[in-house]
Structure 1
Amino acid sequence: MSTINDLSEQERWILRLLYAPQNKSDGDITIEGRTRLVKGLFLIERMFADRFSDFRGTGFDFEPYKYGPFDQDVYDSLESLEERGLVKEVPTHPENGDRIELTSQGKRTGEEVFMNLRPEQKSHLSWIKGKHVQQPVAQLLSFVYNKYPDMAENTEYKGF
């Protein structure tokens, strides 16, 4: 069984993002599609760096790619979390991609790493997830490209 000490910083940020609650109840433990997950982690990287002077990063190194910021390590970390039984990808409608969700053990671990953040960081992470990550993909990509034009230079997406 994995403990939080066994997790990379990248894996912890994936779990935090998946767990981040959208209301006062338990975490909202799903994200529809890998595109939303990648862009959400990118937004955490940039927005936390702007807001929290002591933020040391998510561990990802995003580069401009076909649909904006991308780091293969997101997929590798997601696969590692799946192998550990913390995350699963559930097929849904092809337009949305697979639903990425925490397992019951993943929810417990996600809550633990989420609760390790300061209150203002938890609040900001939940806000990023609700305001941007859970929006339609076209709206999310448009926001990312307009706010961070350096990440749009190699895009194949022309809807922004």
Structure 2
Amino acid sequence: MLRVADFIDALNRGLALVLRWFAIAMVLIQFGIVIGRYVFGVNSIWVQESVLYLHGALFMLAGGYTLLVDRHVRVDIFYAKVSGAARRRIDIAGHVLLLLPAMAALGWWSWPSVRNAWKILEGPISVGGIEAVFLLKSLIPAFCLLIALQSIAILLRLLAGKTRA
């Protein structure tokens, strides 16, 4: 059980190592857009959309890592004031009753849109933009999968009586 959890953790950690470069790329591209527009009077919809694509990929694909390192949003009305055993029960209930069903629902309801986007290879958002909206929409099920996998890894550790990796 713990080997599976370790594999999922490694997957999300490895993905995070790649995705952190997306933030730097976004800053550099946006800087280039500003310089191009205001200094040279040059503008490109394709380049502007590349920032949107990088932003979407960064935040959607880093969700599993965020869950892994416990930096997600937590409503801790009760959580902060209870014992370790109660926190463990709250975590298990949260993953089983809230997080996993929410990811299943989001994946289920977004799938027709993603499937149709791939079927027609959905084109750019704007004229002259990146011709890969189907890739952008594919981030939704990828997000659901990465969050669900990380949730399962955390559940495996909780059920084994371990704390986070």
TM-score over 0.5 (shorter chain): no
Comparing both structures, which one devotes a greater share of its residues to helix?
2
Using the size of structure 2 for normalisation, the TM-score is: 0.25
Q: Which is greater in Rg?
A: 2
Using the size of structure 1 for normalisation, the TM-score is: 0.25
